Amino acid sequence: MQRGIEFLGSEHAILCGAMSWVSERNLVSAISNAGGFGVIACGAMTPELLDAEIAATKALTGKPFGVNLITMHPGLFDLIGVCAKHKVGHVVLAGGIPPKGSVEAIKAFGAKVLVFAPTLALAKKLLRSGADALVIEGSEAGGHIGPVATSVLAQEFLPALAEDHVVFVAGGIGRGDMMASYLEMGASGVQLGTRFACATESIAHPDFKKAFFRANARDAVASVQVDPRLPVIPVRALKNKGTEEFTAKQVEVAKLLDEGKIEMGEAQLQIEHFWAGALRRAVIDGDVENGSLMAGQSVGMVTAEEPVAEIIATLMGECEAALSRR
């Protein structure tokens, strides 16, 4: 974990996954203050909103934290400019292949760039192209997911990359002994989201948290792709009316695409905006029936509200105990 600690500048190489509406100033600062590494979820924010969020987070913590930017955001380079203004130390590019010039624009102001890659070939290409670290995230994760399990990705990526590169493992991690296994395989650290979503410091609505406490692993299901011509990245969330509404939304957008009323880029943005709105309804308004309850399969291990510091202490204790038994 030492290489991950040095890379992040935190006490523990535990990243918090960027969860829209959840990973904001309160949770991010709490995670960084507790020795982890908080990451602001920019999501669909405007540059002005991101500017305010970074400033507010800096007012709550003097520890390092990062910003997660969605590569398909139409204002990506303006958002990078906001990160530059605040001298953000780490930027995570998520949701697709970074567009031309984006990695260079981030590195130009001295920040480190973290990327996601679904295949080993793409991971190698991104690292050659200037990315400083990689997050490999399996299908057990909450929110946007790929098709391959974390355990398989770890076996494929870590032997090939971990010796020369900083690699974080994510997806389905809920306990410290699992962290220990990935660290033994060569990972520099881990990323968790679901475990932190219901922390005491999380602003998520009490009903959102209660839905997590009630759920088990099989309740967190991946969304169905309705039309193969509309390449929608699957999303893992707790099954409810909202998941059914998303299927209907895909049908609606595919029809507009067929009729030539919108382009593919706009179609994908409409899907993203749907998710942002549905997630807000669940997280902020507490509408757990119609909103999106994005959760990873580790949700069954989230049974009570706990302070971030306790979650991190428990994870590190379990990790150290597991390693000492080896």
């391959």: which residue's tokens? Answer: 148
Share of the chain above pLDDT 70, in %: 99
Residue 230 is predicted with a pLDDT of 73
Q: Give the length of the chain.
A: 326
Residue 280 is predicted with a pLDDT of 94
In the Cβ-directed half-sphere of 100, how many Cα atoms lie within 13 Å? 0
Residue 226 is predicted with a pLDDT of 79
> What's the average model confidence in pLDDT over 294-323?
98
Residue 269 is predicted with a pLDDT of 80
Cβ-contact 235, 243 below 8 angstroms: no
Q: Is 311 helix (H, G, I), strand (E, B) or coil?
A: helix
φ/ψ (deg, to 5) at 255 = -65, -40
């031309």: which residue's tokens? Answer: 100
Cα 317-302-325 angle, rounded to 5 deg: 25
Residue 268 is predicted with a pLDDT of 79
pTM of structure? 0.94
> What's the average model confidence in pLDDT over 238-244?
92
In the Cβ-directed half-sphere of 71, how many Cα atoms lie within 13 Å? 17
* Res 233 pLDDT > 80: no
> What's the average model confidence in pLDDT over 254-271?
87
- Output b/e per residue, 130-159; b: 16+ Cβ within 10 A: ebbbbbbbbbbbbbbbbebebbebbeebbe
* Res 232 pLDDT > 80: no
* Res 92 pLDDT > 80: yes
| Cα–Cα dist 50/99, whole Å | 20
Residue 143 is predicted with a pLDDT of 92
Share of the chain above pLDDT 90, in %: 84
> What's the average model confidence in pLDDT over 193-197?
98
| Cα–Cα dist 88/274, whole Å | 29
* Res 231 pLDDT > 80: no
Render pLDDT for 24-77 as a digit per residue (tens, 0 to 9). 999 999 999 999 999 999 998 999 999 999 999 999 999 999 999 999 899 999
User: E strands within 171-247?
Assistant: 189-192, 220-222, 235-238
Cβ-contact 323, 243 below 8 angstroms: no
* Res 104 pLDDT > 90: yes
- Output b/e per residue, 220-257; b: 16+ Cβ within 10 A: beebeebeeebebbbbbbbebebbeebeebbeebbeeb
What is the residue-averaged pLDDT of the chain?
A: 95
